[in-house]
């Protein structure tokens, strides 16, 4: 069957022609009418939205693009509007991805006739060279998804190179964090089926006779090493984490004893671990309580003897307790972000002495963060899943914290109000979080930044009125002159035009 046979030649193309500005409802209806009902239903079930539809964030497809670009011997091809592709590639290189991104352009004709699919297939055949790549990833953005471009009809492999096609529309995936899971889950499923069907390539870091724990989520590079030290007394090691850095790491991740959903929104990936018969544990080894509970849960799931679990706790907990005692935080802090580790960060800050009245995350509520939610709620913290920017801002303005940790627009607003603030992604995610190292790294940055509250207040007072009201913008010197007769003159013009239009005969 040709691609054009599965594309509705009326509604989907009309909706797709309006691009991302067609609105989520219009695009969603177009995608379903174009044969993507099963895909959209699966995305909705895997990544449920909140009461306000979905959080504000960058294009979700960036998450999937990021996962592909971080993998060795993996090519990525985007199928979408040129403006979207430009923005995504710009952002990817801004984040340090020194990799080429493929792009298959289209116009109304190739979209309507199905030629776009043929062009994508030709591009895949051209790039799928086993000497260069293990896998080729093709990502449908909003318009091709809404138009029903059938990436599932691409060959599963070409000369041994795996072909993975996914739909990551902004109207179907709520956040770019969850879009990481779309690709990671698709890759994990492909690798799991390969392993079930016969021998697979040996992972580079494969260790004999060592049972491992797979960490799910993008972590600071030092954290897996620290987690490995926590697990060593139980005879456990750390598998290559997910998202993986190369294809063969997926086999090692699946070969684990237990999967740890450190970032709790990787729903599709968790589903693949469960399909492989691996138990999944939520939360993470953060702070004193979190580390003790996590080691208990991991040890129980892995069938480790209680004495070995106690030995692991005896080795790690005293150092964490000493770090907490030596790095106390005397500050009120609000936490918000879209990385998925917001609840873990709030737990660590709370254990270090900070008052954390609010934590907001753009990610959904899942079983894998339930222990963190219960722990925080018991200590008076309001946990907001699928938090919108408005909710984060309202919480910050109500609480008036000594430090606000959040997204770029929240940080901007906080500084306008004279509240010290730091960007979660660049300042918190770029530091260790687990074990004693996490305590020292996070508490120091929070203590340093929250100490600047008086300085921020002086700056706001000094610049009061600058850049607001009549002083906004460039090119004006002084207050713009008011012309009293202008409003009255324009009012008469509008009324005259309205009378003239009312006297035009119907049908002319």
pLDDT in tens, 282-327: 999 999 999 999 999 999 999 999 999 999 999 999 999 999 999 9
Which residue range forms the structural domain that includes residue 303?
211-322
Among candidate residues 305, 322, 339, the one where a domain is terminated: 322
- Please state, in angstroms and rounded to a whole number, the distance separating the CA atoms of residues 179 and 215: 18
pLDDT in tens, 85-100: 888 888 777 666 677 8
pLDDT in tens, 207-218: 666 899 999 999
Return the residue matching tokens 């040709």.
Answer: 2
List, in order, residues 6 or more apart from 411 with CB less than 8 Å away.
Answer: 404, 421, 422, 423
Do 314 and 345 lie in one domain? The reply is: no
Do 217 and 103 lie in one domain? The reply is: no
Q: Are 139 and 166 in contact (CB under 8 A)?
A: yes
Do 340 and 424 lie in one domain? The reply is: yes
373 domain residue, yes or no: yes
293 domain residue, yes or no: yes
39 domain residue, yes or no: yes
Do 64 and 169 lie in one domain? The reply is: yes
Do 20 and 126 lie in one domain? The reply is: yes
- Please state, in angstroms and rounded to a whole number, the distance separating the CA atoms of residues 435 and 498: 72
Do 377 and 455 lie in one domain? The reply is: yes
pLDDT at 489 over 60: yes
Q: Are 97 and 69 in contact (CB under 8 A)?
A: yes
163 domain residue, yes or no: yes
Strands (E), 45-156: 74-79, 102-103, 135-140
Model-wide pTM > 0.85: no
- Please state, in angstroms and rounded to a whole number, the distance separating the CA atoms of residues 387 and 450: 23
Do 148 and 16 lie in one domain? The reply is: yes
- Domain total for the chain? 3
Which of 265-279, 419-433, 462-476 shows the lowest mean pLDDT across its residues? Answer: 462-476
50 domain residue, yes or no: yes
Do 315 and 332 lie in one domain? The reply is: no
- At 201, the pLDDT band (50, 70, 90 cuts) reads confident
Among candidate residues 262, 297, 322, the one where a domain is terminated: 322
Q: What percent of the chain has pLDDT over 70?
A: 85
Do 19 and 168 lie in one domain? The reply is: yes
- Please state, in angstroms and rounded to a whole number, the distance separating the CA atoms of residues 349 and 89: 35
What sign does the CA torsion over 182, 186, 191, 193 have?
Answer: positive
Among candidate residues 266, 290, 322, the one where a domain is terminated: 322
Across 71-75, 142-146, 470-474, which has the greatest mean pLDDT? 71-75
pLDDT at 229 over 90: yes
What's 396's domain CATH number?
A: 3.40.50.1980
- At 3, the pLDDT band (50, 70, 90 cuts) reads very low
80 domain residue, yes or no: yes
Do 165 and 59 lie in one domain? The reply is: yes
Do 279 and 355 lie in one domain? The reply is: no
What one-character-per-residue DSSP string does 356-425 give? EEEEEESSPP-GGGHHHHHHHHHTTPEEEET--HHHHHHHHHHH--SEEEE-HHHHHHHHHTT--EEEII
Do 389 and 442 lie in one domain? The reply is: yes
491 domain residue, yes or no: no
- At 14, the pLDDT band (50, 70, 90 cuts) reads very low
286 domain residue, yes or no: yes
């Amino acid at each position: 069957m040709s691609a054009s046979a599965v594309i509705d030649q009326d509604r989907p193309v009309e909706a797709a022609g309006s691009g991302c500005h067609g609105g989520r409802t219009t695009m969603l209806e177009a995608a379903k009418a174009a044969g993507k009902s099963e895909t959209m239903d699966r995305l909705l079930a895997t990544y449920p939205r909140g009461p306000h539809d979905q959080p504000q964030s960058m294009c979700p497809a960036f998450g999937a693009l990021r996962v592909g670009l971080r993998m060795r011997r993996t090519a990525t091809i985007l199928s979408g509007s040129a403006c979207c592709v430009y923005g995504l590639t710009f952002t990817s290189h801004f984040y340090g991805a020194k990799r080429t991104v493929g792009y298959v352009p289209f116009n109304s004709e190739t979209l309507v006739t199905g030629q776009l699919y043929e062009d994508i297939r030709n591009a895949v055949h051209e790039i799928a060279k086993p000497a260069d790549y293990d896998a080729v990833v093709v990502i449908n953005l909003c318009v091709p998804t809404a138009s029903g471009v059938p990436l599932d009809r691409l060959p599963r492999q070409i000369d041994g190179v795996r072909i993975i096609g996914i739909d990551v529309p902004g109207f179907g995936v709520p956040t770019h964090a969850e879009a990481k899971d779309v690709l990671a889950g698709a890759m994990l499923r492909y690798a799991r089926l390969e392993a079930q069907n016969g021998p697979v390539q040996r992972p580079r870091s494969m260790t004999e006779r060592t049972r491992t724990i797979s960490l799910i989520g993008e972590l600071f590079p030092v954290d897996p090493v620290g987690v490995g030290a926590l697990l060593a007394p139980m005879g456990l090691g750390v598998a290559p984490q997910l998202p993986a850095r190369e294809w063969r790491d997926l086999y090692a991740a699946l070969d684990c004893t237990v999967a740890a959903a450190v970032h709790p929104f990787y729903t599709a990936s968790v589903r693949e671990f469960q399909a492989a018969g691996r138990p999944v544990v939520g939360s993470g080894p953060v702070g004193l309580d979190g580390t003790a509970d996590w080691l208990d849960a991991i040890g129980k799931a892995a069938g480790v003897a209680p004495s070995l679990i106690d030995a692991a706790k005896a080795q790690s907990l005293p150092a964490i307790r000493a770090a907490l005692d030596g790095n106390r935080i005397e500050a009120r802090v609000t936490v918000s972000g879209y990385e998925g580790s917001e609840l873990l960060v709030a737990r660590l800050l709370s254990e270090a002495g900070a008052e954390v009245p609010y934590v907001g995350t753009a990610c959904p509520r899942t079983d894998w963060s339930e222990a963190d939610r219960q722990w925080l709620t018991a200590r008076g913290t309001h946990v907001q899943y699928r938090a919108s920017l408005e909710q984060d801002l309202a919480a910050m303005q109500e609480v008036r914290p000594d430090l606000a940790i959040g997204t770029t627009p929240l940080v901007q607003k906080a500084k306008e109000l004279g509240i010290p603030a730091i960007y979660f992604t660049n300042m918190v995610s770029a530091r260790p979080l687990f074990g004693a190292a996490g305590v020292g790294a996070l508490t120091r940055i929070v203590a340093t930044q929250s100490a600047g509250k008086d300085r921020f207040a002086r700056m706001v007072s000094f610049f009061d009125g600058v850049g607001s009201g009549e002083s906004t913008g460039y090119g004006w010197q002084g207050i713009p002159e008011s012309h009293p007769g202008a409003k009255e003159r324009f009012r008469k013009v509008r009324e005259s035009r309205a009378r003239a239009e009312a006297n035009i005969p119907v049908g002319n």
